[in-house]
Amino acid sequence: MNRTALITGGSQGLGRAVAGFLAAQGYGLLITARGEEDLDAAARELRRHGGPVTALAGDVADPAHRGRLADAARELGRLDVLFNNASTLGVTPLPPLAGYPLDALEQAFRVNVAAPIALVQEVLPLLEASGGLVVNVSSDAALGGYPGWGGYGLTKAALDLASLTLANELGGRGIGVVAVDPGDLRTRMHQDAFPGEDISDRPLPEVTLPFWAWLLEQPRAAVTGRRYRAQADRWEVNV
């Protein structure tokens, strides 16, 4: 059976670019995003590569939706890659952390931290059976302490630690877990972070494809527990 991948936030931006890359490599895909119209359009394009594509619209912060994703992955019969890409910026325009609405901060943690961990829990047997890889999409905001980026950065710093912890816990079961900072990209989320500004100088998500091509072919034991920067001259980050 062909390799398969579950990609959250798969209708646009980085998730859509990675989905297209994997479809071209013969992967079967399970993609999800909140916007049903964009997701269905992405699925139609991805099916042109000839492989199976299942599209399920919903919010990864919703336990019932995560359950449906896990059921769909089991129906596919295997899972080689879990690409936890779906994220929320939280409040926009980005507020200072000292004045950040706590209810919004809690919701950001549900989407950006709890949901990726919960999805790992849901599909763990499938990942173990295939010797799978979990990719958690991080950000330089996890390390930078940038004014205004505190809420989002907190969630990505927590996701980095969750990635390392899961890698240490699951390595003996043949599962790899990595955190990847894709760098600044010309995406809708990045535009939302800079309302009214011209972000045309940022590269499109496809600039990261050489990194993904390399990562997905590495032995799980060689990469697990690492944190990478997909646009850097040297991909691995020493922190």
Q: Which strands sit side by side in the sheet containing 227-229, from one edge to the other?
A: 53-57, 28-33, 4-8, 81-84, 133-137, 176-181, 227-229
In whole angstroms, give the CA distance from residue 218 to residue 152. 30
Q: Tokens representing 99?
A: 């004045």
How far from 169 is each of 64, 158, 166, 226, CA to CA, in Å? 26, 16, 5, 14
Q: Quick check: is 27 catalytic?
A: no
In whole angstroms, give the CA distance from residue 129 to residue 95. 43
User: What distance separates the 2 farthest-apart alpha carbons in the chain?
Assistant: 51
In whole angstroms, give the CA distance from residue 120 to residue 110. 14
In whole angstroms, give the CA distance from residue 97 to residue 116. 23
Catalytic residue, candidates 27, 100, 146, 152: 152
In single-letter form, the type of residue at position 17 comes to A
Which residues are known catalytic residues? 152
